[in-house]
Structure 1
Amino acid sequence: MRKILIVGAGQSGLQLALGLQSHGYEVTVMSNRTADEIRGGRIMSTQCMFDQALQHERDLEINFWENQSPRTEGLGVSVAGPDGSRPVDWLGRLDGHAQSIDQRVKMAGWLETFAQRGGQLVIHGAAVSDLDFLARTYDLVLVAAGKGELVSMFERDAARSPYDEPQRALAVSYVHGLERRPEHPDMLAVRFNLVPGVGELFMIPGYTLSGACDIMFWEGVPGGPLDVFQGVRDPAEHLSLTLELMERFTPWEYARATRVELTDANATLAGRYAPTVRKPVGRLPSGGAVLGVADVVVANDPITGQGSNAAAKCAAVYLDSILERGEKPFDAEWMQATFDRYWETAARHITKWSNALLVPPPAHVLELIGACGQYQALADRFANAFSDPSDLENWFFDPEKARACLAELAAAEPAAEPSA
């Protein structure tokens, strides 16, 4: 059976490794940390995954925590007014539940499962020189480690990368003790709070090392009032800043967070990066080719919560492409075609949507967001776009399609009074 090397032990790398392993491939995974080091480390992301992406885990029967993690059944949007009010506030229902499982839990568990099933695990921070040597002994090398030296092998795709600088400053806290939204105490929901000109606050039900939790995630416009986390090292100070900003900009969320505490000493994270699309084929010094995976080649801002979803979809496409290839060579042409398949089916929709939300919304988008408070069907459609962003092409981006969508809703459903 063919030998495959996967560098990186995140959502895409391990999902792909476990999938290939289940089909009898001889797979080696290189990780810069052991499972215990991952569990004992800092949180890595917010990783809320929606139904379409979760299905890929179910298909491989690696959804080990699905019955333990809280199930998110809705997604709501609130827009902050200058006086602390909510001129827009609504909740959409998800067709299939979403879940956010701390990557320290999932990746450590998957790494151990991979080793228990006979996979070759190498704990080593790989450099380009390592891959140049190792590539000679493998039929295919996949790079799924989205940071560090290895990313430099993949050329930036300027035509698909409109931003050179980070568009948001990011700050995440995992907490216990958050109260439910009083408007829907019986439904777990992701809350997407927009503060025009300032940034966004996401409130995400999650599951961590100590069980059920909530994730509070600020995205701030660089240089603005939310851009205050850089250099903050003390977790307690990080949480205090998070709450101060909530009290100032989203008092309705602060009201249910007055008794929260961090889930553990490593439950905060801050940073920023420029959204970037890279060309998928990396060249080694000796001339060999390697294939970039997930956020190595498509790294979007997390404003639409698509990082882990995109990684799962990328791994699923790559798995199918590898299986279909049989004994034919994994050459550069096949690598490009495999990435193109991922781009067309998933990544282009995610990238377009993520980049669109980083700029002030055009008039028709403002109208659509407001109309979600009047038409439950539209609120549900927006919520489910987080699972399948391709649907946005039919009604969200184009003003004419947006008007047609609203006209169809008006004809079919009497408008409800906007919620307070």
Structure 2
Amino acid sequence: MRRILVVGAGQSGLQLALGLQSKGYEVTLMSNRTADEIRTGRVMSTQCMFDSALRHERDLQLNFWEQQAPKIEGLGVSVAAPDGSRAIDWLGRLKGYAQSVDQRVKMAGWLDTFAQRGGQLVIHGASVADLDYFARTYDLVLVAAGKGELVSLFERDAARSPYDAPQRALAVSYVHGLGPRPEHPQTEAVRCNLVPGVGELFVMPTLTTSGRADILFWEGLPGGPLDVFQGVKDPGEHLAVTLELMEQYTPWEYARATNVELTDAGGTLAGRYAPVVRNPVGRLPGGGLVLGVADVVVANDPITGQGSNSAAKCAASYLSSILMHGDKPFDEAWMKATFDKFWFTTGKPVTQWTNAMLGVPPEHVLNLIGAAGQLQPVADRFANGFDHPADFDAYFYDPEDAADYLESVAGAAAVAAPGSGSDSASGSGSGSVVGDSSAE
């Protein structure tokens, strides 16, 4: 029986530990907090998991909250015009529903499950010195704790990390009482509101400790008008500032938020971090090796909502690599190959897309977003790219590819509905966005 240590009890660490446990491995899991401390603590993320990531949880029968969590069937994009209206507003339909479960609910539940199933749970904030010892007593040590001292074991990969500073200031509020979008009152959807030159507001349904809720999530350009949360410590003040910014920059979202209240005192979060890709193998002072997992080695900005999705896919990929390796030693070559498998299938496409969305979008990308308001297939494809980011490579990055794609969709729409020029039932707005769109 192979002995494996997993350090970190987030999406990737817990999913991997529970997966290995279900396959008969002797697994030790280290968490810096108990399940109760997680459950009663502060929110940790703005997770929205799409269908392919959710399938990994279903495969391991860990989808405990699937019947309770809102079923998110669409993803909408709105672009603010200078006069406070929406220059563009459309809703793409997801092929399979997405879901968001507050990580306080999920991680606490999974941690309890791991212990109930006989796993060895150690409540301890691991240090490099701890891992130096454990690396000699376990067949494999996996580091899935994306913050703190352990991250220093993994060197920044400069070739894959174009940014060395945070690209957005982040501010999150979990609320009850948000009304529906009047144009689609029956559809649960993630809403991406782009405010050119300022930042983005994301609104998503979720399941939290007190039931169904919504997440209000500002991403502001550093130093800009949204970058005002650093000194805000009081949760009530945090929500008030969030709503003031919504009233000013996204009045259509503010209109349905006039009666909201925080889900709990721990329902706010603010911070920032630099997107980074790190080398996957960490070398300990005593010569032992550890393998980084998920956002320990690939940490993208949340602008594309890929954190928990990538974590689930990384855990599934690593689990497959471990199972296929049998009883052979987990050496450096295996560690690098295991990471490369995840990188080329998931990490690289997500990083390329996220970094593109953080920069100033070129004209052809603005045209794509605008065309989605007139052509429903474009809106649907863009929305489903959140589930399969590799699809963007076919039409998103190259101007000629984008033009060819839009021409083919417009031609098909004209054939299907002669004289109409559009088959969109959900979109509105012009075919392009004009002006400074650095928020994209």
TM-based fold match above 0.5: yes
What's the counterpart of residue 419 of structure 1?
428
What's the counterpart of residue 103 of structure 1?
103
Shift in Å, 1:419: 1.2
What's the counterpart of residue 400 of structure 2?
400
Cα distance in 1 for partners of 2:161, 2:10 equals: 23
Aligned 1:250-269 pairs, distance under 5 A:
250-269=250-269
Cα distance in 2 for partners of 1:279, 1:398 equals: 29
Aligned residue identity for 1:337: A
What's the counterpart of residue 220 of structure 1?
220
Secondary structure in structure 1 of the residue aligned to 2:99: strand
Aligned residue identity for 1:419: S
Secondary structure in structure 2 of the residue aligned to 1:126: coil
What's the counterpart of residue 139 of structure 2?
139
Shift in Å, 1:214: 0.2
What's the counterpart of residue 30 of structure 1?
30
Cα distance in 1 for partners of 2:172, 2:258 equals: 17
Shift in Å, 1:411: 1.1
2:385 corresponds to 1:376: no
Shift in Å, 1:216: 0.2
What's the counterpart of residue 90 of structure 1?
90
Deviations 1:256-310 (A, max 9, x none): 0000000001000000000000000000000110000000000000000000000
What's the counterpart of residue 42 of structure 2?
42
Shift in Å, 1:135: 1.1
What's the counterpart of residue 4 of structure 1?
4
Aligned 1:319-338 pairs, distance under 5 A:
319-338=319-338
2:373 corresponds to 1:352: no
Shift in Å, 1:400: 1.0
Which stretches in structure 2 are left out of the alignment for 5+ residues? 415-420, 430-440
Cα distance in 2 for partners of 1:91, 1:47 equals: 20
Shift in Å, 1:28: 0.3
Cα distance in 1 for partners of 2:397, 2:185 equals: 33
What's the counterpart of residue 57 of structure 1?
57
Secondary structure in structure 2 of the residue aligned to 1:100: coil
Cα distance in 1 for partners of 2:263, 2:205 equals: 13
Secondary structure in structure 2 of the residue aligned to 1:137: coil
Which 4+ residue blocks in structure 1 deviate beyond 6 angstroms? none
Cα distance in 2 for partners of 1:231, 1:161 equals: 29
Cα distance in 2 for partners of 1:259, 1:349 equals: 39
- Normalising by structure 2, report the TM-score: 0.95
What's the counterpart of residue 185 of structure 1?
185
What's the counterpart of residue 303 of structure 2?
303
Shift in Å, 1:134: 1.1
Cα distance in 2 for partners of 1:280, 1:294 equals: 10
Cα distance in 1 for partners of 2:398, 2:101 equals: 34
Aligned residue identity for 2:380: D
Cα distance in 1 for partners of 2:3, 2:84 equals: 58
Which stretches in structure 1 are left out of the alignment for 5+ residues? none
What's the counterpart of residue 270 of structure 1?
270
Aligned 1:213-252 pairs, distance under 5 A:
213-252=213-252
What's the counterpart of residue 200 of structure 2?
200
Deviations 1:143-180 (A, max 9, x none): 00000000000000000000010000000000000000
Cα distance in 2 for partners of 1:326, 1:359 equals: 43
State the Cα RMSD in Å: 0.7
Cα distance in 2 for partners of 1:32, 1:108 equals: 12
Aligned residues: 420
Cα distance in 2 for partners of 1:89, 1:363 equals: 18
Cα distance in 1 for partners of 2:231, 2:26 equals: 43
Deviations 1:19-70 (A, max 9, x none): 0000000000000000000001000000100001000000000000000101
Aligned residue identity for 2:412: A
Cα distance in 2 for partners of 1:360, 1:226 equals: 17
Cα distance in 1 for partners of 2:290, 2:360 equals: 38
Deviations 1:380-402 (A, max 9, x none): 00000000101000111111110
What's the counterpart of residue 120 of structure 1?
120
Cα distance in 1 for partners of 2:402, 2:60 equals: 38
Cα distance in 2 for partners of 1:107, 1:373 equals: 38
Cα distance in 1 for partners of 2:392, 2:5 equals: 36
Cα distance in 2 for partners of 1:288, 1:399 equals: 47
Aligned residue identity for 1:365: V
Cα distance in 1 for partners of 2:371, 2:428 equals: 11
Shift in Å, 1:410: 1.3
Deviations 1:62-99 (A, max 9, x none): 00000010110000000001110101000000000011
Aligned residue identity for 1:345: T
What's the counterpart of residue 391 of structure 2?
391
What's the counterpart of residue 69 of structure 2?
69
What's the counterpart of residue 169 of structure 2?
169
Cα distance in 2 for partners of 1:400, 1:419 equals: 25
What's the counterpart of residue 340 of structure 1?
340
Cα distance in 2 for partners of 1:212, 1:383 equals: 23
Secondary structure in structure 2 of the residue aligned to 1:171: strand
Deviations 1:202-222 (A, max 9, x none): 000000000000000000000
Secondary structure in structure 2 of the residue aligned to 1:197: coil
